[in-house]
Structure 1
Amino acid sequence: MKFRAKITSKSFLELFIQVSGTVAKLAKVCVLRVCPDRLSFCPTGLPGETQLWGEVRRGVFRHFCMEGFSKEFNEIYLELMSEHLARAVRNAGNALSLKLQLTNKLRPCLTVVIELASCPGHTRAMVHDLPVKVLPRKWWKECTEPQVLACDVSVYLPSLKTLKNIVERMANVGDRVLVEANLNGKMNLSIETDVVAIKSYFKNLGNPPKAVLDMTQDKDPEKMVQVRVDNRKLLLFFEGQQINPTMALCNILSSTLLHLVLVHDDISLQYFIPAS
Protein backbone atom coordinates (compact mmCIF):
# COMPACT_ATOMS: atom_id res chain seq x y z
CA MET A 1 0.00 0.00 0.00
CA LYS A 2 1.22 3.48 -0.88
CA PHE A 3 -0.09 6.98 -0.30
CA ARG A 4 1.42 10.37 -1.03
CA ALA A 5 -0.36 13.71 -1.46
CA LYS A 6 0.73 17.34 -1.59
CA ILE A 7 -1.08 20.66 -1.18
CA THR A 8 0.53 23.84 -2.53
CA SER A 9 -2.41 26.28 -2.75
CA LYS A 10 -2.57 28.67 0.22
CA SER A 11 -6.37 28.68 0.26
CA PHE A 12 -6.52 24.87 0.21
CA LEU A 13 -3.84 24.71 2.90
CA GLU A 14 -6.00 26.87 5.15
CA LEU A 15 -9.07 24.74 4.41
CA PHE A 16 -7.21 21.54 5.25
CA ILE A 17 -6.03 23.08 8.55
CA GLN A 18 -9.61 24.08 9.34
CA VAL A 19 -11.17 20.72 8.55
CA SER A 20 -8.45 18.90 10.54
CA GLY A 21 -9.14 21.19 13.49
CA THR A 22 -12.88 20.59 13.23
CA VAL A 23 -12.43 16.81 13.17
CA ALA A 24 -10.16 17.02 16.24
CA LYS A 25 -12.83 18.99 18.12
CA LEU A 26 -15.62 16.57 17.26
CA ALA A 27 -13.89 13.17 17.30
CA LYS A 28 -10.99 12.02 19.48
CA VAL A 29 -10.13 9.08 17.22
CA CYS A 30 -10.91 8.90 13.52
CA VAL A 31 -10.15 6.75 10.52
CA LEU A 32 -8.57 8.40 7.50
CA ARG A 33 -9.99 6.60 4.48
CA VAL A 34 -7.77 7.02 1.42
CA CYS A 35 -9.54 6.53 -1.93
CA PRO A 36 -8.35 7.31 -5.47
CA ASP A 37 -10.49 10.47 -5.61
CA ARG A 38 -10.65 11.68 -1.99
CA LEU A 39 -9.69 11.48 1.67
CA SER A 40 -12.48 10.84 4.16
CA PHE A 41 -12.50 11.34 7.92
CA CYS A 42 -14.67 8.47 9.11
CA PRO A 43 -16.60 8.02 12.34
CA THR A 44 -15.47 5.46 14.89
CA GLY A 45 -18.52 5.59 17.17
CA LEU A 46 -21.28 3.05 17.55
CA PRO A 47 -24.49 3.19 15.50
CA GLY A 48 -26.98 5.53 17.15
CA GLU A 49 -24.28 7.85 18.48
CA THR A 50 -23.45 11.31 17.18
CA GLN A 51 -21.22 10.86 14.14
CA LEU A 52 -18.96 12.94 11.95
CA TRP A 53 -18.10 12.42 8.29
CA GLY A 54 -15.64 14.70 6.50
CA GLU A 55 -14.36 14.61 2.92
CA VAL A 56 -11.43 16.29 1.19
CA ARG A 57 -11.67 15.68 -2.54
CA ARG A 58 -8.72 15.18 -4.84
CA GLY A 59 -9.03 18.68 -6.32
CA VAL A 60 -7.51 20.10 -3.11
CA PHE A 61 -4.18 18.39 -3.82
CA ARG A 62 -1.53 19.40 -6.36
CA HIS A 63 -0.22 15.82 -6.36
CA PHE A 64 -2.13 12.73 -5.23
CA CYS A 65 -0.85 9.17 -5.58
CA MET A 66 -2.13 6.03 -3.88
CA GLU A 67 -2.15 2.26 -4.22
CA GLY A 68 -4.66 0.50 -2.03
CA PHE A 69 -5.09 -2.93 -0.52
CA SER A 70 -5.52 -4.47 -3.98
CA LYS A 71 -6.76 -3.57 -7.45
CA GLU A 72 -10.21 -4.78 -6.44
CA PHE A 73 -10.19 -3.01 -3.06
CA ASN A 74 -8.23 0.11 -3.91
CA GLU A 75 -8.50 1.86 -0.55
CA ILE A 76 -6.46 2.37 2.63
CA TYR A 77 -7.88 2.82 6.15
CA LEU A 78 -5.66 4.49 8.76
CA GLU A 79 -6.79 4.91 12.37
CA LEU A 80 -5.19 7.86 14.15
CA MET A 81 -5.65 10.40 16.92
CA SER A 82 -7.42 13.41 15.40
CA GLU A 83 -5.60 15.90 17.61
CA HIS A 84 -2.21 14.61 16.43
CA LEU A 85 -3.05 15.52 12.84
CA ALA A 86 -4.56 18.87 13.81
CA ARG A 87 -1.44 19.82 15.78
CA ALA A 88 0.87 18.75 12.97
CA VAL A 89 -0.81 20.92 10.32
CA ARG A 90 -1.82 23.82 12.58
CA ASN A 91 1.12 26.05 11.61
CA ALA A 92 1.06 25.32 7.89
CA GLY A 93 -0.96 28.43 6.96
CA ASN A 94 2.09 30.28 5.62
CA ALA A 95 3.84 27.19 4.31
CA LEU A 96 4.92 26.66 0.73
CA SER A 97 3.46 23.15 0.76
CA LEU A 98 2.04 20.40 2.93
CA LYS A 99 2.79 16.76 2.14
CA LEU A 100 1.09 13.66 3.55
CA GLN A 101 2.71 10.27 3.13
CA LEU A 102 2.20 6.78 4.48
CA THR A 103 5.58 5.63 5.80
CA ASN A 104 7.01 2.80 7.88
CA LYS A 105 9.32 4.04 10.66
CA LEU A 106 9.50 1.02 12.96
CA ARG A 107 5.72 1.16 12.77
CA PRO A 108 3.21 2.58 10.24
CA CYS A 109 3.09 6.38 10.31
CA LEU A 110 1.33 9.18 8.51
CA THR A 111 4.25 11.51 7.88
CA VAL A 112 3.36 15.20 7.58
CA VAL A 113 5.99 17.39 5.93
CA ILE A 114 5.52 21.17 6.03
CA GLU A 115 7.81 23.12 3.69
CA LEU A 116 8.55 26.64 4.92
CA ALA A 117 10.41 29.52 3.32
CA SER A 118 13.72 30.30 5.01
CA CYS A 119 16.32 32.81 3.83
CA PRO A 120 15.97 33.87 0.16
CA GLY A 121 16.26 30.89 -2.14
CA HIS A 122 16.18 28.34 0.67
CA THR A 123 13.49 26.31 2.41
CA ARG A 124 13.27 24.25 5.58
CA ALA A 125 10.99 21.38 6.42
CA MET A 126 9.08 20.45 9.57
CA VAL A 127 8.42 16.71 9.75
CA HIS A 128 5.83 15.03 11.96
CA ASP A 129 5.53 11.23 12.11
CA LEU A 130 2.05 10.38 13.37
CA PRO A 131 1.54 6.76 14.49
CA VAL A 132 -1.35 5.09 12.69
CA LYS A 133 -3.00 1.69 12.66
CA VAL A 134 -3.54 0.23 9.20
CA LEU A 135 -6.93 -1.43 9.42
CA PRO A 136 -7.39 -4.87 7.80
CA ARG A 137 -10.17 -5.19 5.24
CA LYS A 138 -12.45 -7.10 7.62
CA TRP A 139 -12.82 -3.88 9.66
CA TRP A 140 -13.60 -1.59 6.73
CA LYS A 141 -17.34 -2.10 7.01
CA GLU A 142 -17.20 -0.42 10.43
CA CYS A 143 -15.98 2.81 8.80
CA THR A 144 -18.53 3.37 6.04
CA GLU A 145 -20.37 6.63 5.46
CA PRO A 146 -23.49 6.82 7.65
CA GLN A 147 -26.57 6.09 5.61
CA VAL A 148 -29.36 8.64 5.78
CA LEU A 149 -32.92 7.87 4.78
CA ALA A 150 -34.68 10.48 2.67
CA CYS A 151 -35.12 13.49 4.94
CA ASP A 152 -38.56 14.99 5.54
CA VAL A 153 -37.27 18.54 5.14
CA SER A 154 -34.10 20.31 4.05
CA VAL A 155 -33.39 24.00 4.65
CA TYR A 156 -30.38 26.31 4.33
CA LEU A 157 -28.91 27.27 7.69
CA PRO A 158 -28.75 30.90 8.86
CA SER A 159 -25.49 32.40 10.16
CA LEU A 160 -23.58 29.73 12.08
CA LYS A 161 -22.30 32.38 14.49
CA THR A 162 -25.86 33.44 15.29
CA LEU A 163 -26.93 29.83 15.78
CA LYS A 164 -23.97 29.17 18.08
CA ASN A 165 -24.93 32.14 20.29
CA ILE A 166 -28.53 30.95 20.49
CA VAL A 167 -27.63 27.35 21.29
CA GLU A 168 -25.16 28.54 23.98
CA ARG A 169 -27.96 30.44 25.72
CA MET A 170 -30.30 27.48 25.46
CA ALA A 171 -27.64 25.15 26.89
CA ASN A 172 -27.88 27.13 30.14
CA VAL A 173 -31.61 26.48 30.32
CA GLY A 174 -32.17 22.82 29.49
CA ASP A 175 -30.73 19.59 28.10
CA ARG A 176 -32.71 19.18 24.88
CA VAL A 177 -33.48 21.60 22.07
CA LEU A 178 -36.28 21.24 19.54
CA VAL A 179 -35.25 21.94 15.95
CA GLU A 180 -37.99 22.35 13.36
CA ALA A 181 -38.16 23.50 9.74
CA ASN A 182 -40.46 23.46 6.73
CA LEU A 183 -40.39 23.67 2.96
CA ASN A 184 -41.09 27.41 2.96
CA GLY A 185 -37.62 28.26 4.27
CA LYS A 186 -38.60 28.59 7.92
CA MET A 187 -36.65 27.17 10.87
CA ASN A 188 -37.18 27.41 14.63
CA LEU A 189 -35.10 26.46 17.65
CA SER A 190 -36.82 26.17 21.02
CA ILE A 191 -36.34 24.89 24.53
CA GLU A 192 -38.85 24.69 27.36
CA THR A 193 -38.68 23.88 31.05
CA ASP A 194 -41.09 24.26 33.98
CA VAL A 195 -39.63 27.71 34.59
CA VAL A 196 -38.82 29.26 31.21
CA ALA A 197 -39.36 28.83 27.46
CA ILE A 198 -37.13 30.22 24.69
CA LYS A 199 -37.86 30.14 20.96
CA SER A 200 -35.94 31.64 18.04
CA TYR A 201 -37.52 32.07 14.60
CA PHE A 202 -35.83 32.21 11.19
CA LYS A 203 -37.59 32.78 7.88
CA ASN A 204 -36.74 33.20 4.19
CA LEU A 205 -33.79 30.81 4.54
CA GLY A 206 -34.61 28.97 1.35
CA ASN A 207 -34.73 25.27 0.56
CA PRO A 208 -32.45 23.30 -1.77
CA PRO A 209 -34.12 22.88 -5.20
CA LYS A 210 -34.23 19.09 -4.89
CA ALA A 211 -36.10 19.31 -1.58
CA VAL A 212 -38.80 21.45 -3.21
CA LEU A 213 -39.00 19.27 -6.33
CA ASP A 214 -39.39 16.14 -4.23
CA MET A 215 -42.33 17.67 -2.39
CA THR A 216 -45.47 15.67 -3.09
CA GLN A 217 -48.67 17.43 -4.17
CA ASP A 218 -50.45 16.76 -0.88
CA LYS A 219 -47.61 17.91 1.32
CA ASP A 220 -48.20 21.18 3.17
CA PRO A 221 -45.09 23.39 2.72
CA GLU A 222 -45.94 25.24 5.95
CA LYS A 223 -45.94 22.08 8.07
CA MET A 224 -43.02 22.07 10.49
CA VAL A 225 -40.95 18.87 10.75
CA GLN A 226 -39.40 18.40 14.19
CA VAL A 227 -36.58 16.61 15.94
CA ARG A 228 -35.45 17.01 19.53
CA VAL A 229 -31.71 16.58 20.19
CA ASP A 230 -29.22 16.79 23.03
CA ASN A 231 -28.27 20.45 23.39
CA ARG A 232 -24.65 19.65 24.32
CA LYS A 233 -24.14 17.64 21.13
CA LEU A 234 -25.56 20.45 18.99
CA LEU A 235 -23.39 23.01 20.78
CA LEU A 236 -20.32 20.82 20.28
CA PHE A 237 -20.89 21.01 16.53
CA PHE A 238 -21.10 24.81 16.48
CA GLU A 239 -18.10 25.18 18.83
CA GLY A 240 -16.01 22.69 16.88
CA GLN A 241 -16.59 23.64 13.25
CA GLN A 242 -13.90 25.94 11.87
CA ILE A 243 -14.51 26.15 8.13
CA ASN A 244 -16.38 29.06 6.55
CA PRO A 245 -18.83 27.14 4.35
CA THR A 246 -20.21 28.35 1.05
CA MET A 247 -23.26 26.18 1.71
CA ALA A 248 -24.73 25.03 5.03
CA LEU A 249 -27.76 22.72 5.20
CA CYS A 250 -30.02 21.37 7.91
CA ASN A 251 -31.80 18.11 7.07
CA ILE A 252 -34.41 16.68 9.43
CA LEU A 253 -35.79 13.16 9.56
CA SER A 254 -38.87 13.60 11.71
CA SER A 255 -38.30 12.66 15.36
CA THR A 256 -35.27 10.61 14.30
CA LEU A 257 -32.23 12.55 13.09
CA LEU A 258 -30.71 16.01 12.70
CA HIS A 259 -28.24 16.00 9.78
CA LEU A 260 -26.05 19.09 9.34
CA VAL A 261 -23.97 19.57 6.17
CA LEU A 262 -21.23 22.15 5.53
CA VAL A 263 -19.59 22.51 2.11
CA HIS A 264 -16.69 24.69 0.96
CA ASP A 265 -15.21 24.02 -2.49
CA ASP A 266 -13.82 20.47 -2.44
CA ILE A 267 -14.30 19.98 1.31
CA SER A 268 -17.46 18.86 3.11
CA LEU A 269 -18.43 18.01 6.68
CA GLN A 270 -21.50 16.10 7.80
CA TYR A 271 -22.67 15.83 11.40
CA PHE A 272 -25.35 13.32 12.43
CA ILE A 273 -27.18 13.87 15.73
CA PRO A 274 -29.79 11.23 16.64
CA ALA A 275 -33.01 12.27 18.40
CA SER A 276 -32.90 12.16 22.18
Structure 2
Amino acid sequence: MRFRAKVVNIDCIHHFTNVVNTISKLLKKCSIRLTKEKMFFILPDQVANGGVSMWCELKQANFFDEYRMDGVNEYELNEIYLEIVAENLCRAIKSANNAKSLKIKLTKKQVPCLTVEIELPSLSSTARIVTHDIPVSVIPSSLWGEYQEPEMPDFHVSLCLPPLKTVKHIVERLKNLSSYLTLSGNQEGDFALKVETELVSATTRFSDLEIPPYDPDGDSQAPSKLWPPSEMASARIDVKKLLQFLAGQQINPYKVICNIVDQSAVHFFLVHDDISLQYFIPVVAV
Protein backbone atom coordinates (compact mmCIF):
# COMPACT_ATOMS: atom_id res chain seq x y z
CA MET A 1 0.00 0.00 0.00
CA ARG A 2 1.19 3.49 -0.84
CA PHE A 3 -0.33 6.91 -0.36
CA ARG A 4 1.14 10.34 -0.97
CA ALA A 5 -0.58 13.69 -1.47
CA LYS A 6 0.67 17.25 -1.72
CA VAL A 7 -1.03 20.65 -1.57
CA VAL A 8 0.73 23.82 -2.74
CA ASN A 9 -2.13 26.27 -3.25
CA ILE A 10 -2.62 28.20 0.01
CA ASP A 11 -6.40 28.45 -0.46
CA CYS A 12 -6.61 24.67 -0.83
CA ILE A 13 -4.47 24.25 2.30
CA HIS A 14 -6.85 26.48 4.25
CA HIS A 15 -9.88 24.66 2.82
CA PHE A 16 -8.50 21.24 3.74
CA THR A 17 -7.54 22.51 7.21
CA ASN A 18 -11.12 23.72 7.77
CA VAL A 19 -12.51 20.33 6.72
CA VAL A 20 -10.23 18.45 9.12
CA ASN A 21 -11.01 20.92 11.91
CA THR A 22 -14.74 20.37 11.34
CA ILE A 23 -14.30 16.59 11.44
CA SER A 24 -12.27 16.76 14.68
CA LYS A 25 -15.06 18.70 16.40
CA LEU A 26 -17.71 16.23 15.30
CA LEU A 27 -16.02 13.06 16.51
CA LYS A 28 -13.00 11.69 18.36
CA LYS A 29 -12.00 8.81 16.10
CA CYS A 30 -12.81 8.37 12.46
CA SER A 31 -11.91 6.18 9.54
CA ILE A 32 -10.23 7.49 6.40
CA ARG A 33 -11.03 5.79 3.12
CA LEU A 34 -8.69 6.52 0.22
CA THR A 35 -9.53 5.81 -3.40
CA LYS A 36 -8.03 7.02 -6.68
CA GLU A 37 -10.57 9.82 -7.02
CA LYS A 38 -11.73 10.64 -3.49
CA MET A 39 -10.88 10.88 0.19
CA PHE A 40 -13.52 10.02 2.77
CA PHE A 41 -13.84 10.66 6.51
CA ILE A 42 -16.26 8.15 8.01
CA LEU A 43 -17.87 7.31 11.31
CA PRO A 44 -19.81 4.10 10.61
CA ASP A 45 -23.50 3.78 11.43
CA GLN A 46 -23.88 4.18 15.18
CA VAL A 47 -27.48 5.44 15.11
CA ALA A 48 -28.93 2.05 16.01
CA ASN A 49 -26.87 2.14 19.22
CA GLY A 50 -27.82 5.69 20.13
CA GLY A 51 -24.75 7.39 18.65
CA VAL A 52 -24.18 9.71 15.71
CA SER A 53 -22.78 8.70 12.34
CA MET A 54 -21.04 10.74 9.66
CA TRP A 55 -19.97 10.51 6.03
CA CYS A 56 -17.72 13.19 4.51
CA GLU A 57 -16.57 12.94 0.90
CA LEU A 58 -13.87 15.04 -0.82
CA LYS A 59 -12.88 15.00 -4.47
CA GLN A 60 -9.10 14.84 -4.29
CA ALA A 61 -8.63 16.85 -7.50
CA ASN A 62 -10.25 19.87 -5.80
CA PHE A 63 -7.67 19.88 -3.00
CA PHE A 64 -4.40 18.23 -3.97
CA ASP A 65 -1.82 19.22 -6.57
CA GLU A 66 -0.30 15.74 -6.38
CA TYR A 67 -2.11 12.57 -5.36
CA ARG A 68 -0.82 9.00 -5.53
CA MET A 69 -2.63 6.01 -4.06
CA ASP A 70 -1.95 2.30 -4.53
CA GLY A 71 -4.28 0.11 -2.54
CA VAL A 72 -4.25 -3.44 -1.27
CA ASN A 73 -4.86 -4.83 -4.73
CA GLU A 74 -4.52 -2.84 -7.95
CA TYR A 75 -7.59 -4.39 -9.58
CA GLU A 76 -10.16 -5.56 -7.02
CA LEU A 77 -9.22 -3.83 -3.76
CA ASN A 78 -7.53 -0.65 -4.92
CA GLU A 79 -8.43 1.29 -1.78
CA ILE A 80 -6.96 1.98 1.66
CA TYR A 81 -8.90 2.15 4.94
CA LEU A 82 -7.32 3.67 8.05
CA GLU A 83 -8.52 4.52 11.54
CA ILE A 84 -7.16 7.71 13.10
CA VAL A 85 -7.74 10.06 16.03
CA ALA A 86 -9.18 13.08 14.22
CA GLU A 87 -7.83 15.61 16.72
CA ASN A 88 -4.26 14.38 16.12
CA LEU A 89 -4.59 15.11 12.42
CA CYS A 90 -6.13 18.49 13.18
CA ARG A 91 -3.26 19.45 15.49
CA ALA A 92 -0.69 18.35 12.93
CA ILE A 93 -1.94 20.62 10.15
CA LYS A 94 -2.75 23.67 12.30
CA SER A 95 0.69 25.13 11.63
CA ALA A 96 0.05 25.01 7.86
CA ASN A 97 -1.82 28.34 7.72
CA ASN A 98 1.11 30.07 6.02
CA ALA A 99 2.79 27.00 4.59
CA LYS A 100 4.46 26.79 1.18
CA SER A 101 3.28 23.20 0.89
CA LEU A 102 1.54 20.44 2.83
CA LYS A 103 2.40 16.78 2.24
CA ILE A 104 0.59 13.76 3.66
CA LYS A 105 1.89 10.24 3.17
CA LEU A 106 1.45 6.76 4.59
CA THR A 107 4.65 5.58 6.27
CA LYS A 108 5.86 2.68 8.36
CA LYS A 109 7.57 3.64 11.63
CA GLN A 110 7.26 1.35 14.65
CA VAL A 111 3.59 1.38 13.63
CA PRO A 112 1.79 2.58 10.49
CA CYS A 113 1.58 6.38 10.44
CA LEU A 114 0.20 9.23 8.40
CA THR A 115 3.20 11.51 8.15
CA VAL A 116 2.40 15.19 7.69
CA GLU A 117 5.20 17.39 6.33
CA ILE A 118 4.69 21.15 6.34
CA GLU A 119 7.12 23.41 4.50
CA LEU A 120 7.11 26.84 6.12
CA PRO A 121 8.36 30.11 4.61
CA SER A 122 12.01 30.87 5.37
CA LEU A 123 14.22 33.93 4.94
CA SER A 124 17.20 31.70 4.25
CA SER A 125 17.79 29.28 1.39
CA THR A 126 17.22 26.35 3.74
CA ALA A 127 13.65 25.16 3.90
CA ARG A 128 11.94 24.85 7.27
CA ILE A 129 10.12 21.52 7.49
CA VAL A 130 7.78 20.53 10.33
CA THR A 131 7.01 16.81 10.46
CA HIS A 132 4.29 15.02 12.41
CA ASP A 133 3.90 11.23 12.56
CA ILE A 134 0.31 10.30 13.40
CA PRO A 135 -0.28 6.64 14.33
CA VAL A 136 -3.05 4.93 12.36
CA SER A 137 -4.62 1.49 12.32
CA VAL A 138 -5.00 -0.25 8.97
CA ILE A 139 -8.51 -1.65 8.59
CA PRO A 140 -8.50 -5.13 6.99
CA SER A 141 -10.47 -5.61 3.78
CA SER A 142 -12.77 -8.10 5.52
CA LEU A 143 -14.29 -5.14 7.42
CA TRP A 144 -14.63 -2.70 4.52
CA GLY A 145 -18.31 -3.49 4.14
CA GLU A 146 -18.98 -1.59 7.37
CA TYR A 147 -17.62 1.64 5.84
CA GLN A 148 -19.84 2.12 2.82
CA GLU A 149 -21.96 5.21 2.19
CA PRO A 150 -25.07 5.13 4.38
CA GLU A 151 -28.40 4.79 2.64
CA MET A 152 -30.56 7.88 2.62
CA PRO A 153 -33.30 7.35 5.22
CA ASP A 154 -36.96 7.28 4.22
CA PHE A 155 -37.62 10.70 5.66
CA HIS A 156 -40.96 12.42 6.12
CA VAL A 157 -39.84 16.04 5.82
CA SER A 158 -36.95 17.72 4.01
CA LEU A 159 -36.21 21.44 4.22
CA CYS A 160 -33.28 23.88 4.09
CA LEU A 161 -32.20 25.25 7.44
CA PRO A 162 -31.88 28.95 8.28
CA PRO A 163 -28.27 30.21 8.57
CA LEU A 164 -26.33 27.91 10.90
CA LYS A 165 -25.11 30.82 13.02
CA THR A 166 -28.72 31.73 13.75
CA VAL A 167 -29.63 28.15 14.63
CA LYS A 168 -26.52 27.79 16.81
CA HIS A 169 -27.34 30.98 18.74
CA ILE A 170 -30.87 29.72 19.46
CA VAL A 171 -29.77 26.22 20.47
CA GLU A 172 -27.14 27.63 22.84
CA ARG A 173 -29.91 29.53 24.62
CA LEU A 174 -32.25 26.54 24.73
CA LYS A 175 -29.60 24.18 26.11
CA ASN A 176 -29.75 26.09 29.41
CA LEU A 177 -33.36 24.94 29.79
CA SER A 178 -33.07 21.26 28.89
CA SER A 179 -30.66 18.54 27.76
CA TYR A 180 -33.01 17.58 24.94
CA LEU A 181 -34.48 19.50 22.04
CA THR A 182 -37.20 18.67 19.54
CA LEU A 183 -36.79 19.55 15.88
CA SER A 184 -40.01 19.79 13.90
CA GLY A 185 -40.76 20.66 10.30
CA ASN A 186 -43.19 20.18 7.44
CA GLN A 187 -43.14 20.30 3.64
CA GLU A 188 -44.60 23.81 3.62
CA GLY A 189 -41.38 25.34 4.96
CA ASP A 190 -42.29 25.54 8.65
CA PHE A 191 -39.56 24.66 11.14
CA ALA A 192 -39.39 24.77 14.94
CA LEU A 193 -36.88 24.24 17.74
CA LYS A 194 -38.53 23.38 21.06
CA VAL A 195 -37.58 22.42 24.59
CA GLU A 196 -40.12 21.30 27.12
CA THR A 197 -39.77 20.44 30.80
CA GLU A 198 -42.09 20.28 33.78
CA LEU A 199 -41.31 23.93 34.54
CA VAL A 200 -40.93 25.59 31.16
CA SER A 201 -41.69 25.30 27.46
CA ALA A 202 -39.89 27.40 24.84
CA THR A 203 -40.23 27.30 21.05
CA THR A 204 -38.56 29.18 18.20
CA ARG A 205 -40.36 28.99 14.86
CA PHE A 206 -39.34 29.71 11.27
CA SER A 207 -41.59 29.83 8.23
CA ASP A 208 -41.29 29.91 4.44
CA LEU A 209 -38.00 28.02 4.43
CA GLU A 210 -36.76 26.63 1.12
CA ILE A 211 -37.83 23.10 0.24
CA PRO A 212 -35.04 21.20 -1.59
CA PRO A 213 -36.04 20.37 -5.16
CA TYR A 214 -36.62 16.73 -5.99
CA ASP A 215 -35.02 15.41 -9.16
CA PRO A 216 -36.49 11.98 -10.02
CA ASP A 217 -33.66 11.38 -12.49
CA GLY A 218 -30.90 12.42 -10.08
CA ASP A 219 -29.59 11.33 -6.68
CA SER A 220 -32.08 13.34 -4.63
CA GLN A 221 -34.81 11.56 -2.73
CA ALA A 222 -38.40 12.65 -2.22
CA PRO A 223 -40.12 12.72 1.17
CA SER A 224 -42.74 10.09 1.88
CA LYS A 225 -45.85 10.71 -0.24
CA LEU A 226 -47.96 9.29 2.58
CA TRP A 227 -46.95 12.17 4.91
CA PRO A 228 -49.33 15.17 4.63
CA PRO A 229 -47.36 18.29 3.53
CA SER A 230 -48.76 20.43 6.34
CA GLU A 231 -48.16 17.89 9.11
CA MET A 232 -45.10 18.44 11.33
CA ALA A 233 -42.56 15.59 11.62
CA SER A 234 -40.62 15.68 14.89
CA ALA A 235 -37.47 14.24 16.40
CA ARG A 236 -36.32 14.67 20.01
CA ILE A 237 -32.52 14.67 20.13
CA ASP A 238 -29.64 15.31 22.51
CA VAL A 239 -28.97 19.05 22.43
CA LYS A 240 -25.21 18.50 22.94
CA LYS A 241 -25.00 16.37 19.79
CA LEU A 242 -26.76 19.06 17.80
CA LEU A 243 -24.49 21.78 19.19
CA GLN A 244 -21.46 19.65 18.38
CA PHE A 245 -22.61 19.56 14.77
CA LEU A 246 -23.34 23.29 14.66
CA ALA A 247 -20.09 24.30 16.39
CA GLY A 248 -17.94 22.30 14.00
CA GLN A 249 -19.02 23.83 10.72
CA GLN A 250 -16.10 25.73 9.21
CA ILE A 251 -16.47 24.59 5.62
CA ASN A 252 -19.06 27.29 4.81
CA PRO A 253 -21.72 25.23 3.04
CA TYR A 254 -24.04 27.27 0.85
CA LYS A 255 -26.99 25.14 1.92
CA VAL A 256 -27.78 22.79 4.81
CA ILE A 257 -30.63 20.34 4.26
CA CYS A 258 -32.39 18.84 7.28
CA ASN A 259 -34.26 15.58 6.73
CA ILE A 260 -36.51 14.47 9.58
CA VAL A 261 -37.61 10.87 10.07
CA ASP A 262 -40.55 11.27 12.43
CA GLN A 263 -39.72 9.96 15.92
CA SER A 264 -36.61 8.24 14.58
CA ALA A 265 -33.66 10.39 13.42
CA VAL A 266 -32.44 13.66 11.95
CA HIS A 267 -30.22 13.64 8.88
CA PHE A 268 -28.19 16.74 7.98
CA PHE A 269 -26.74 17.13 4.50
CA LEU A 270 -24.22 19.92 3.89
CA VAL A 271 -24.12 21.12 0.31
CA HIS A 272 -20.79 22.47 -0.97
CA ASP A 273 -19.06 22.49 -4.35
CA ASP A 274 -16.04 20.52 -3.11
CA ILE A 275 -17.41 18.56 -0.15
CA SER A 276 -20.33 16.34 0.70
CA LEU A 277 -21.01 15.85 4.41
CA GLN A 278 -23.82 13.82 5.96
CA TYR A 279 -24.49 13.69 9.69
CA PHE A 280 -27.07 11.52 11.48
CA ILE A 281 -28.44 12.08 15.00
CA PRO A 282 -30.84 9.51 16.49
CA VAL A 283 -33.85 10.41 18.62
CA VAL A 284 -33.85 10.13 22.40
CA ALA A 285 -36.83 8.36 23.94
CA VAL A 286 -39.01 10.40 26.28
Task: Report TM bin, short chain.
Answer: over 0.9
Contact 1:164/1:239 (8 A) holds in 2: yes
Q: Which residue of 1 aligns with 2:41?
A: 41
Give the count of matched residue pairs. Answer: 276
Q: Is 1:134 paired with 2:149? A: no
* Deviations 1:78-123, CA, capped at 9 Å, x for gaps: 1111111000011212212211111112321101111222126653
Inter-CA distance 215–260: structure 2 relative to 1 (3 Å threshold): closer
Q: Which of the numbers 118, 122, 126 marks the counterpart of 1:118?
A: 122
Which letter maps to 2:274? D
Structure 2 residue ranges without an equivalent (≥5):
none
Contact 1:109/1:130 (8 A) holds in 2: yes
Which letter maps to 1:67? D
* Deviations 1:224-243, CA, capped at 9 Å, x for gaps: 22111111211121123322
Inter-CA distance 201–94: structure 2 relative to 1 (3 Å threshold): same
Q: Which residue of 2 aligns with 1:15?
A: 15
Q: Which residue of 2 aligns with 1:275?
A: 283
Query: Structure 2 length as normaliser, TM-score?
Result: 0.89
Deviates more, 1:47-56 or 1:206-215: 206-215
Distance 2:105 2:224 in 1: 49
Which letter maps to 2:144? W
Which letter maps to 1:27? L
* Deviations 1:41-77, CA, capped at 9 Å, x for gaps: 1115745221122222122211111111112011101
Q: Which residue of 2 aligns with 1:100?
A: 104
Deviates more, 1:217-226 or 1:94-103: 217-226
Distance 2:113 2:28 in 1: 18
Inter-CA distance 160–82: structure 2 relative to 1 (3 Å threshold): same
Contact 1:29/1:44 (8 A) holds in 2: no
Distance 1:143 1:2 in 2: 20
Inter-CA distance 12–142: structure 2 relative to 1 (3 Å threshold): same
1:84 partner SS: helix
Cα root mean square deviation, aligned: 2.1
Q: Which residue of 1 aligns with 2:251?
A: 243
Q: Which residue of 2 aligns with 1:223?
A: 231
What's the CA shift for 1:274? 0.6
Query: Structure 1 length as normaliser, TM-score?
Result: 0.92
1:145 partner SS: coil
Q: Is 1:63 paired with 2:66? A: yes
Q: Which of the numbers 202, 211, 224 marks the counterpart of 2:206?
A: 202
Q: Percent identity?
A: 41
Distance 2:278 2:225 in 1: 30
